[in-house]
Amino acid sequence: MTRRALLGLRSPLLAIAGVLAALIAWQLWAERSDPFYVPTTTEIFGAAWSLWRDPDFLSDAAESLERLAAGFLIGSAIGIGVGLLMGSSSRVRRALEPLVDLLRSTPPIAIAPALLIIAGFGNGMRVPLIAFGVCFPVLLNTVDGVRAVSSEVRDTASMLHIGRLDRTVRIYFPAALPSIVTGLRIAISVALVLVVVAEFVGEGGGLGGYLEVAAARSEFPEVYACILFLGLIGYVLNRFFVLVERHLLAWHYGAVGEQPA
């Protein structure tokens, strides 16, 4: 086997070693803890094997993913749109910056009671809550990406009498795309957290509702199996964004001589 092939295997082997070390550490901790509250790895994987094939659990997972997708798309669209406006216009930025700073400093869970009053239980409260949390990482990264456009490029666009809309679509958005994708990767993790939080509030349903019910019934292996499932969802979504970033922004990383994380 060549040296290059060995180096190519090193990263996957290190990742596997890290996972095995974590599983062994959990097993050793479980053996020294109360088995009722801290199940062993074999108990958790046994529960996962049964739970992840349960149609009711998969239905809950699909429900959560639908909410995640809806909230993520709405929040991302708002974040990109407002971010492009704020980044390309100093007047808009000065007008909206205090409001944006106020809203982004507000914990998303704090607005849940207001959303319950306005929209009631169900997706009318949960999707806006997810969108609220998703919006700001995307918005701030979009603003930073647009503001990073050099003054020379801006002056040239003005000299050529390129309209504001064309300037935004043809100059600012492509230039900000690396920052926007970074914001989207951050936002997808925020969205997954808020899906579970939103499902704790109200009438249950989804993976958050399943966790709440399983914990109330003291079904702790199933609780950990559900947490593991959520972790895998987050991992898969992150890897998906890495692949999208690698292909969509190949021109950018080729220009700067880097690779996406």
Residue 201 CB neighbour total at 10 angstroms: 19
Give pLDDT, residue 75.
Answer: 95
Say whether pLDDT at 259 is over 70.
no
Say whether pLDDT at 24 is over 70.
yes
**CA–CA separation, 105 and 13 (whole Å):** 41
Provide the CATH number for the domain formed by 43-256 in this structure. 1.10.3720.10
Share of residues in the chain with pLDDT > 90 (%): 39
Give pLDDT, residue 34.
Answer: 76
Q: Which amino acid is at 217?
A: R
Tell me what the mean pLDDT of segment 10-14 comes to. 70
Give pLDDT, residue 9.
Answer: 58
Tell me what the mean pLDDT of segment 246-254 comes to. 66
For the chain, domain boundaries: 43-256
**CA–CA separation, 34 and 19 (whole Å):** 23
pLDDT tens digits, 105-164: 998 888 888 888 888 777 888 899 999 999 999 999 999 988 888 777 776 777 776 777
pTM over 0.75? The answer is yes
